[in-house]
Amino acid sequence: MASSIHDLARHLNISIGTVSRALNGRADVNADTRQRVLEAARTLNYSPNQSGRSLRQGATHSIAFMLQPHPGDQQYGEPFFIPFLIGLQARLAESGLDLTVVMGAPGDYQQERLRRVVETRRADAVLLAWTRREDERIDYLTQAGFPFATLGRSRSGTKSYPSLDLDFEKAGADAVDRLVARGHRRIAAVRPSLDLNFGYLFLAGYRKALRRHGIEVDPELIASGFINEAGGYEVTPQVMRSKAPPTAIIFNNDAMALGGCKALAEMGIRPGHDMAVTVIVDTPLCRYFSPALTAFRPALEPMGQRLAEMLLASLPAFAGPEGPRIIREVWPLELVARDSD
Amino acid sequence: MASSIHDLARHLNISIGTVSRALNGRADVNADTRQRVLEAARTLNYSPNQSGRSLRQGATHSIAFMLQPHPGDQQYGEPFFIPFLIGLQARLAESGLDLTVVMGAPGDYQQERLRRVVETRRADAVLLAWTRREDERIDYLTQAGFPFATLGRSRSGTKSYPSLDLDFEKAGADAVDRLVARGHRRIAAVRPSLDLNFGYLFLAGYRKALRRHGIEVDPELIASGFINEAGGYEVTPQVMRSKAPPTAIIFNNDAMALGGCKALAEMGIRPGHDMAVTVIVDTPLCRYFSPALTAFRPALEPMGQRLAEMLLASLPAFAGPEGPRIIREVWPLELVARDSD
DNA sequence: TGTGTTCTCGTAAACGTTTACGGAAAAACG
DNA sequence: CGTTTTTCCGTAAACGTTTACGAGAACACA
């Protein structure tokens, strides 16, 4: 059905070697024959067989994105990633790479799936999301010498991999600054209990900003729970029971904020009136919730594009003339002021 | 690095042919040698090279999911698909298949990308979503003889492909029934203007139910717009300007409903009080919107699993002993009663 | 013992590429 | 014209599998 390089060669009465060289733009082929080959390729509707190329070159021409729902993630989890994936795939496609997604059941750490991808060489590189503070996946990949990049930072590994992260520290600080400027002094923070790295970064920014404003950090105002609605619902009352309850709460996650608001409502506390509420990572839910939640928004699709570029730049086969480079970037989150603070 | 079938053969002092046969569970190999091969495979950490298998077998062991954002889709579009993808990928992984996702820019009909996937044989089969009433992708795939399945039905093609769809017709009728039972007689319908098939099915159910209740279908109460928030915002006022305005509106899409509610709010009309609002396909946005929107919910993750199964059943290489079967199913949507009607 | 059958395994080709190597022809140079 | 260099192309091996074919050994049976 599909025509092969042999068909082209037979059709033009030249050898398959020449056809291949012409197709791959090598120098040692006559400009004229190259033209003829390219033309024949078009008319015969030729497109190279990926398996053949992969086998010969030892490369699969595909990147695996490991999407790892965390424990307690609810039915519609991870809408966060769709625009990111769109950007990612667009950029990868430009370089002729496929994007294969590997998901797991919520709570599954995916170590096993990751090993399978690596050992069967089903992808040329791997993309990790939801990086943890200590991330065994990163340790494994560096130790195995397998190329990868991460969405998010981690303390693991030798930092010799590309990574793109959001500046949760600055967002945490900005959130505090804004609330302080609006007269708040008792500001609570609700973050995920897992060792997801962005939770640490957020908290660091939160602490730093409070101190900068001469406000003592009150441990009673910091709570952590499962990173879902139930988690927010469960731990928000904790900070409200503190000796000096907060007048503002910063949630590190939209789902936790939603659960938190539910808990507040049950206590007769109205976000936006009796309590200022800020969310660090904006999602459509923040926008449509009532009251609309003030949140910090990431540029997801550009991030996907950029991370693809950074990953490619680190791969010898795709790096530019200066050779492979390791790029690490931290992107800002943009404040979207709404009605909840 | 990774050990090959040759390594196993050398290690055991047998031929690679025997190793391969042992690994693939063929009958013509001594039970004892099979044991030894399997054991060696484990200790040498062997896993087959996919490119090699693919090249030899002419199969890629991967399925392509074509995710096609429609025109005007906004930043966070398609959260709908994540749980579906989770189910899909889980089932495919069970059969050793990869899931590669192919996306496009919103508005791109993907015909070109689809052709590339098919012609380069980058996948063994293709999965289509957002099927249209007349779908050129389906025509192309049937004509090319390429295996595929669809999420959603279509009038195109010879129906000789597996498909899984939601019963939008029944959901439309159920929505009407419920509203009529609550005393409404003037019920509007807002649907997408594109020829997305679920829009037609929904409208058919809506019409049928109205007639069953002896209510005349008023064309002024039917509007169609872009399938996003702006679309809902734009066309909802149309039905409100009709000579006899509705007391209830059924939206065929969550984003359109959100835009519609915004338009209503600007007219001083409160959903849940002055106007009953129902949404056909539930998303988290419906749940968190204020008022929480009554909606019809699909079982997305099971659908993903099931469609994967149906696709596999249609592929000779994966079909059971009875040979390949074409299965077509229509799944119900479940009413989730909330505050908006 | 001779013949036929069954088990088990080795051999080698094939899938579609890429690429190292070498050689013929053409061009350059003295 | 002879030699060297350059240009261009064909040959063939290799990537890691699967599988058709055939052959040797063991076994059964008369």
Q: How many Å apart are CA B300 and CA A83, to the nearest integer?
A: 19
Q: How many Å apart are CA A194 and CA A133, to the nearest integer?
A: 9
Contact A288 B285 (CB under 8 A): yes
Q: Is A31 helix (H, G, I), strand (E, B) or coil?
A: helix
Lowest mean pLDDT among A14-23, B193-202, B211-220: B193-202
Q: What is the dihedral of CA B317, B321, B323, B328, to 10 degrees?
A: -100
Shared domain for A32 and A114, answered yes or no, is no
Shared domain for B311 and B268, answered yes or no, is no
The CATH number that applies at residue B30 is: 1.10.260.40
Residue at B340 is within a domain: no
Position B72 scores a pLDDT of: 58
Secondary-structure percent of chain B, ordered helix, strand, coil, rounded to 5:
45, 15, 40
Digit-coded pLDDT (tens) for A79-132: 678 889 889 999 999 898 999 988 876 666 678 889 888 888 889 999 999 899
Q: Is B276 helix (H, G, I), strand (E, B) or coil?
A: strand
Shared domain for A118 and A42, answered yes or no, is no
Digit-coded pLDDT (tens) for B6-53: 999 999 999 999 999 999 999 999 999 999 999 999 999 999 999 999
- Are B278 and B249 within 8 A, CB to CB? yes
Residue at A53 is within a domain: no
Q: List the one residue out of A178, A215, A245 whose CA is nearest residue A236.
A: A245
Most B CBs within 10 A among A3, A46, A51, hence the mutation to make, goes to A51
Report the nucleotide nearest the CA of residue A49, measured to C1'. Answer: C16
Residue at A86 is within a domain: yes
Mean pLDDT over residues B254-267, rounded? 95
Shared domain for A267 and A293, answered yes or no, is yes
Q: List the one residue out of B84, B76, B7, B67 whose CA is nearest residue B43.
A: B7
Shared domain for A220 and A319, answered yes or no, is no
Position A109 scores a pLDDT of: 62
Q: List the one residue out of A115, A142, A138 whose CA is nearest residue A128.
A: A138
Q: How many Å apart are CA B97 and CA B83, to the nearest integer?
A: 18
Mean pLDDT over residues B185-196, rounded? 93
Residue at B327 is within a domain: yes
Shared domain for B232 and B267, answered yes or no, is yes
Position A75 scores a pLDDT of: 45
Residue at A341 is within a domain: no
Protein footprint on strand D: which nucleotides are under 7 Å from a CB?
A: 7-12, 14-20, 22
Mean pLDDT over residues B230-258, rounded? 95
Q: Is B74 helix (H, G, I), strand (E, B) or coil?
A: coil
Residue at A327 is within a domain: yes
Mean pLDDT over residues B226-240, rounded? 94
Shared domain for A184 and A283, answered yes or no, is yes
Shared domain for B112 and B191, answered yes or no, is no
Report the nucleotide nearest the CA of residue A21, measured to C1'. Answer: C18
Q: For residue B85, give the nearest of A48, A101, A258 by CB distance.
A: A101
Q: What percent of chain A has pLDDT over 70?
A: 95
Shared domain for A220 and A272, answered yes or no, is yes
Shared domain for A136 and A21, answered yes or no, is no
Shared domain for B182 and B207, answered yes or no, is yes
Number of domains in chain A: 3
Residue at B339 is within a domain: no
The CATH number that applies at residue B148 is: 3.40.50.2300
Q: Tally C-beta pairs within 8 A across A and B.
A: 132
Shared domain for B183 and B282, answered yes or no, is yes
Residue at A281 is within a domain: yes
What residues of B are in contact with residue A284 (Cβ under 8 Å)?
A: 76, 79, 285
- Domain span holding position B320: 62-166+300-331
